A = this chain, B = another copy of it.
Amino acid sequence: MSAPRPEQLSLNTATVRQQWKLDAIIDGCARHGIRGISPWRDQVAELGLAEAARRIRANDLTVTGYCRGGMFPAADAAGRQAALDDNRRAVDEALALGAKCLVLVVGGLPAGSRDIAGARAQVRDGIGTLLQYSREVGMPLAIEPLHPMYAADRACVNTMAHANDLCDELGDDGLGIALDVYHVWWDPQLPAQIERAGRRRLLAFHICDWLAPTTDLLLDRGMMGDGVIDIRALRHAVEAQGYDGFHEVEIFSANNWWKRPGDEVLATCQERHLAHC
């Protein structure tokens, strides 16, 4: 199986968020020849939206996604409306940055709730309402299925099948999927659901690795090659559907990669991207 092209690597800014602020991350991408970036809203807000957009444009970086919208379920109507208002602002920011898509981490159970079917209905309705705006302004929404261990508190869409179902129900126009290998590698239905998604729905491809053992539910992601995911096979699976976009590395790693110099992390991402993705 062939290696990826170096210029397909994109950096999700969470990967070096403990080392650098957004301006330094943009400079780091430029210095290392990384051509794509996917910034988080809090980092953009800190630098300022206009300044972030200016620096990203000045370095000719492709914004492969904007992190993140979503978090739709809430305990009451006011909470749901607040989430929708915030998601509209996220769409506007994604437009200002020229992002390829707004990534949706859809949210989990409202506080005190045990009704996961209800939360999933709220997610469907929330995306449906947001689409009325995002379609109008032309910003694609990318549903990111999160690993089932996040079903309670981060995202109750946990499989490609569920994301595909939502696309079926809400319509493909301006809606698709962000596939992160970390979240879906374990799923026996994955090959069939990648095929079902097809080129049209595959809006982003995120890479990192699942460590065995994993010591923290959130902050112990592995660098590509250090874990058990056959990332190359998954890249070939999305390429078989026609996906030829970026490979966005996103690593939350409190005790390893977040403690290393940013330049070392970026160089390692580049090396491992070519060797393992």
A151 interface residue (CB < 8 Å to B):
yes
Give chain A interface residues in 103-126, CB to chain B under 8 Å: 108-109, 113-116, 120
Which of A71-79, A172-180, A207-215 lies at the interface? A207-215
Complex formed: what's the CA distance from A253 to B170 in Å? Answer: 41
- Top 6 nearest A-B pairs (CB, nearest first) are A151-B186, A152-B212, A114-B230, A148-B186, A149-B149, A152-B228
A187 interface residue (CB < 8 Å to B):
yes
Which secondary structure dominates where chain A touches chain B? loop
Give chain A interface residues in 151-183, CB to chain B under 8 Å: 151-153, 156, 158-159, 161-162
In angstroms, how far is the closest chain B Cβ from the Cβ of A34? Answer: 25
Determine whether the beta carbon of A149 is less than 8 Å from that of B152: no
Complex formed: what's the CA distance from A214 to B217 in Å? Answer: 8
Contact partners of A151 in chain B: CB under 8 A: 185-186
Complex formed: what's the CA distance from A207 to B152 in Å? Answer: 17
Which residues from chain A sit less than 8 Å from chain B, CB to CB? 108-109, 113-116, 120, 147-149, 151-153, 156, 158-159, 161-162, 185-189, 210, 212-215, 217, 227-230
Neighbour of A228 across the interface among B109, B162, B214, CB < 8 A: B109
Determine whether the beta carbon of B152 is less than 8 Å from that of A188: no
A-B contact pairs, 14 of them (CB 8 A): A109-B212, A114-B228, A114-B230, A116-B185, A148-B186, A149-B214, A149-B217, A151-B186, A152-B214, A152-B228, A156-B186, A159-B188, A161-B188, A213-B217
Determine the residue in chain B with the shortest Cβ distance to A109.
Answer: B228
Contact partners of A116 in chain B: CB under 8 A: 185-186, 228, 230
Q: A116-B230, A156-B186 are in contact. List 5 more A-B contacts (CB 8 A).
A: A114-B229, A116-B185, A120-B188, A152-B212, A158-B186
Contact partners of A228 in chain B: CB under 8 A: 109, 113-114, 116, 152
Determine whether the beta carbon of B148 is less than 8 Å from that of A230: no
In angstroms, how far is the closest chain B Cβ from the Cβ of A15? Answer: 22
Complex formed: what's the CA distance from A201 to B153 in Å? Answer: 32
Complex formed: what's the CA distance from A108 to B227 in Å? Answer: 13
Determine whether the beta carbon of A148 is less than 8 Å from that of B114: no
Determine the residue in chain B with the shortest Cβ distance to A213.
Answer: B153
Neighbour of A153 across the interface among B185, B212, B230, CB < 8 A: B212
Contact partners of A148 in chain B: CB under 8 A: 147-149, 186-187
